[in-house]
Chains A and B, each alone.
Chain A
Amino acid sequence: MVRIETQPWETMVEHARRVYPNECCGVMLGKASNGEKRVSRAVPLDNAWQGEQRARYELRPEDLLAAEREARAQGLELIGIYHSHPDCDAYFSETDLKNSCPWYSFVVLSIQRGAFGHANSWLPNAEQTAAEKEELICGE
């Protein structure tokens, strides 16, 4: 189960709406214990995909490295990655799966005509062949 506190959640939704109709991406920092992950900070990152960003995103590894260092410095953990699906459901696409990492929660935000619709969290497997839906709770 992953719980996203109100402030990081608002940061994520605002980020997704701001870059609409493109896909946004960023990282979620927080703490994990006893199977519950709690996100206390969301850090918007650049979409580094070279090309049309309406249906693609890419995280720069250097940005991820910097975010991980920041998390360590603050005593937080990298809990997951978020990105948006403009005018599309919050499913985990084939491209999402093929470029995923099983160590993290992947939160997908569906943005419909510029407004937030719904969100899901996914846990991809190591073979990048399937992703399991994870319970997602937004709020304290």
Chain B
Amino acid sequence: MAKILIPTPLRQYAGRQDAVELNGSTVGEVLDALTSSFQDLRRHLYNDEGRLRSFVNVYVNDEDIRYLSKDATPVGENDTISIVPSIAGGLHAG
């Protein structure tokens, strides 16, 4: 079981829980388990092509999975998965 923290605005789609414990040995498996248990959550995290939305970053403890093994990043009993949006902006492009 790994623990996944649910960002506040998404808790309404996750049974109002702030964290969910799920089975899975990789990040991908845990996310699949999450969105199978809470299907409304899926469209908030994934686009129509089934890919994580561009603003969604996934962290295992303090590490961004993009710099680990992405979906295949292993997770164990004591690992915490966080969903962290990427946010930026500006007046001009470039």
Contacts and interface: CB of A to CB of B under 8 A. Distances in A.
A65 B90 contact: no
B9 A95 contact: no
B87 A81 contact: yes
Interface stretch (B21-29, B32-40, B57-65, B71-79): B57-65
A95 B85 CA distance: 16
Interface residues of B, number: 26
A57 B90 contact: yes
How many A residues are at the interface, by size bracket? Answer: 20 to 34
Consensus secondary structure, chain B interface: mixed
Interface stretch (A6-14, A100-108, A113-121): A100-108
B92 A56 contact: yes
Interface in A22-81: 23, 32, 49, 55-59, 61-62, 64-65, 68, 72, 77-78, 81
Interface of A: 23, 32, 49, 55-59, 61-62, 64-65, 68, 72, 77-78, 81, 83, 85, 88, 93-96, 99-101, 103-104, 126, 128
Interface of B: 5, 7-10, 18, 43-44, 53-55, 57, 59, 62, 64, 82, 84-93
